[in-house]
Amino acid sequence: MSDLDNRQIERMDNVFRAQKAAFEAERHRSYKDRLRDIDAIGALTKKHADAIKDAAAADFGVRSRCETQLTEVTYMTTAVKHTRRHLWSWMQNRKVSIPGNLAPGKAYIRREPRGVAGIISPWNYPFQLAFSPILAALAAGCRVMLKPSELTPNMSELMRNMLAEEFDESHVAVLLGGPAVGEAFTKIPFDHLLYTGSTHVGRLVAKAAAENLTPVTLELGGKSPVIIDQGFKAKDAAASLSFGKFMNAGQTCIAPDYVLAPADQARPIGEAIIAKAEKSYPDWATDEDYTAIVSDRHYDRLNAMIEEARSGGAEILQASGGDPGNARKIAPTVVLNPPEDSKLMQEEIFGPVLPILAHNGLNDAMKRVNAGDRPLALYVYSKDKKAARRVLEGTISGGAVVNNTMLHYSVEDLPFGGVGASGYGAYHGEAGFETFTHARSVLEVPVWHPSRLIAPPYGKLFDMIANK
């Protein structure tokens, strides 16, 4: 049954029209007002920190409260501080030089708010992946409409109520619903649309936005590889691989998706990762810091992936633990040498399952990475800086970390985004401000300007200027 009815479409249109009118009435929101907006986002995040943890726990069944604190609440309060600190300088016009034959005059770039921004967010970090683009759009002086995920209804409802405390709907509005609402949402002629989610839906979003020539930022997923160099100790790689893969039970867009390791290291690395997971979660089945899978569909999908690899001859290593009962939990899992044509190696895993395959040297590993779609992140572990640089130069990915996983996400000054099938455009920090502003090129010249001299009938003066 469709989750969309005429009333919802009418409401969307009305909200969009109200936001458009409000933007036209205040095209350049002042620095002071934008600071107020940013502070409101920070204050709401702090005030509702417990409710955010409760909502995430209710939506996932089990969602580590510490991880919700770290990845949703603390991430946002840090991003707010960063934006607050830099907004003034981001808003300043940037002077550029002009060619001598255009002097006198001055040329500069004005960063102007794009207008009404649409944001579509996913379920895996349901608060942060909605509030972080909202923060960027507000810093840019835009109005915002958010369509959060239907898979995390408690968080979506909470965000709607939170934002209504501080913002009129003509400034920030939340539209609830599933794919049908999302589809109608993408037909709105936004001034910018930022979509976070799967590559499949990203394609549909880009197509719909193209009808209105709406510029789009696509934050998509994919298979983020790990390449381990010869001589890198298993236990040194295991800590960050275990953290990156089992945080949020692997339901992270930049989680390591699979590992390519030297042949003699594949098993020791796999065993070290499981040993680390057993230390982190003494009983994953009952541990409140080991998150559950968000839905039955994803739970069944992941179990089917493991079983397919097992029946294809792969070896499965799993952390020990009791019975999770009805919680949709899957043990921290490493799969040694799954078949290349198995779903584990063909699709983004998005769960606590880590395949490890053997490579025959860095060139072989890079060749295998390059044979697939361009990933959102790439992780290389090497004691040799030159070897790590060689991997960076020989591959393409949205972002990369040397000797760790995922930490680049928290550096606000690094633009965050994909490339190829993992998306295009970026946000975080200044990149987010740039995404939601238009770089308007301005040239100012005096009333009498020598350019007047270049006009037909062309003669000697023209030759002097144009032919030099």
Active centre residues (catalytic): 219, 253
Rule CB under 6 A: say whether 186 interacts with ligand NAD: yes
> Per-residue contact track with ligand NAD, 241 to 280, x per CB under 6 A?
------------x---------------------------
Among 117, 220, 227, 234, binds ligand NAD (CB under 6 A): 220
Question: Nearest Cα to 198, choosing from 177, 171, 222?
Answer: 222
Among 113, 141, 197, 425, binds ligand NAD (CB under 6 A): 197
Rule CB under 6 A: say whether 128 interacts with ligand NAD: no
Among 64, 68, 196, 342, binds ligand NAD (CB under 6 A): 196
Size of the site for ligand NAD (CB under 6 A): 29
Among 120, 135, 227, 378, binds ligand NAD (CB under 6 A): 120
Rule CB under 6 A: say whether 190 interacts with ligand NAD: no
Rule CB under 6 A: say whether 431 interacts with ligand NAD: no
Among 74, 154, 198, 212, binds ligand NAD (CB under 6 A): 198
159-178: contacts with ligand NAD (CB under 6 A): 178
- Least Å distance, CB 305 to ligand NAD, is 15
The residue nearest ligand NAD at its CB is: 221
332-391: contacts with ligand NAD (CB under 6 A): 348, 350, 376
Among 48, 114, 143, 147, binds ligand NAD (CB under 6 A): 147
Rule CB under 6 A: say whether 123 interacts with ligand NAD: yes
Rule CB under 6 A: say whether 146 interacts with ligand NAD: no
- Least Å distance, CB 275 to ligand NAD, is 28
* Interacting residues toward ligand NAD by CB under 6 A: 120-124, 129, 147, 149-150, 178-179, 182-183, 186, 196-198, 201, 204-205, 219-221, 253, 348, 350, 376, 418, 423
